[in-house]
Amino acid sequence: MSSDVRAHESEAARDVVVASSLSDRLGAYVALTKPRIIELLLLTTVPVMFLAARAVPPLSLVLATVIGGALSAGSANALNCVFDADIDTKMRRTARRPLPRHKVPTRNALIFGLVLGVVSTVFLWTLVNPLSAMLALAANVFYVVGYTMLLKRRTSQNIVWGGAAGCFPALIGWTAVTNELAWAPIVLFLVVFFWTPPHFWALAMRYREDYAAAGVPMLPSLVSSREVGNQIVLYSWVMVLTSLVLWPVADTGSFYPSAAIILGIGFLVEAYDLRSRARDTEELSVIKPMRLFHLSNAYLALLFVAAAADPFIR
């Protein structure tokens, strides 16, 4: 093989390595934004836009709200990764995030999160409206400062109050269309607020040893599974009852309350089953908390889709 051919192949190989490295770096920055969480937040934004418009909202407005909301949520998640890097290293569920694996320098991640926050605020302010932009910024600040920096490491009620940051998309979706707040999005805000503890505590039961090792006072790492089950049932009832309040407040047809009742019964059945399984054992293989966790995702998505579809089914 000639030296020119070998040199060409060597140069091509270096190019592949560089491309792969660039791809890895880009993937690490994307991972900082926690795309799966962003998807769930957008599932509570777009349907509310349909409910607010009682029709199909302008596609350009939906896209602007989705992009701006995704940038804002990505900012909050990236900053959360920065301030939680020390405990993420100690937990199996989070140990493969970019900062624990040193795939992104901490300084770069901090700048990345702050830039995303500024860009998202300007983007929403310009292409949606100032009210939606300020709500998104408030959610960002509350998640980073209120939950991550103040509540998470100090109280077992961390996810109860800190989870309020994840409720703001319902308000943002509504104000993006109407440019004002109303009772309907506030009800949906509360639905997500009461949904968050059962949803997250089910996940935290699965990883309770991680939270204990990291010194994070998540409820399942502090009390018995039976007590967690009791709390999950309590919040589940409040969530389901709150979901029905949307019926008179938003003047929906019969489709939404019918869907809310059916979905609520399904959620409550699983919540009671989890509590029953947790009464006499701490074995996760018996309690199966991830069943409720996965069901809760489906519940929230379908409930909001039902709210969006109701104006079209009357």
* Tens digit of each residue's pLDDT (9 = 90 or more) over 92-122: 889 999 999 999 999 999 999 999 999 999 9
Q: How far apart are CA 256 and CA 48, in angstroms?
A: 13
The pLDDT mean for the chain works out to 92
Q: How far apart are CA 251 and CA 183, in angstroms?
A: 11
Using the predicted structure, report yes or no on whether residue 9 has a pLDDT greater than 50.
no
pLDDT tens-digit profile of 138-176?
A: 999 999 999 999 999 999 999 999 989 999 999 999 999
Mean pLDDT (whole number) for 68-91: 96
At residue 24 the predicted structure's pLDDT band, cuts being 50, 70 and 90, is: confident
Q: Among candidates 286, 262, 264, 261, which has minimal Cα distance to 276?
A: 286
At residue 180 the predicted structure's pLDDT band, cuts being 50, 70 and 90, is: very high
Least confident of 228-232, 259-263, 270-274, 281-285: 281-285
End-to-end CA distance of the chain: 75
At residue 23 the predicted structure's pLDDT band, cuts being 50, 70 and 90, is: confident
Position 40 scores a pLDDT of 86
Using the predicted structure, report yes or no on whether residue 213 has a pLDDT greater than 50.
yes
Position 314 scores a pLDDT of 67
pLDDT-above-90 percentage for the chain: 86
At residue 13 the predicted structure's pLDDT band, cuts being 50, 70 and 90, is: very low
Using the predicted structure, report yes or no on whether residue 16 has a pLDDT greater than 60.
no
Mean pLDDT (whole number) for 55-79: 97
At residue 10 the predicted structure's pLDDT band, cuts being 50, 70 and 90, is: very low
Position 293 scores a pLDDT of 97
Q: How far apart are CA 110 and CA 20, in angstroms?
A: 24
DSSP string, 242-287: HHHHHHHHTT--SHHHHHHHHHHHHHHHHHHHHHHHHSS---HHHH
The sign of the torsion formed by the CA atoms of 56, 58, 59, 65 equals negative
Position 22 scores a pLDDT of 80
Mean pLDDT (whole number) for 59-84: 97
Using the predicted structure, report yes or no on whether residue 2 has a pLDDT greater than 70.
no
Mean pLDDT (whole number) for 173-195: 97
Mean pLDDT (whole number) for 181-202: 97
Give, to the nearest 10 degrees, the angle between helix 35-43 and helix 59-83. 140
Position 3 scores a pLDDT of 46
Q: Structural domains in the chain?
A: 23-181 (1.10.357.140), 182-314 (1.20.120)
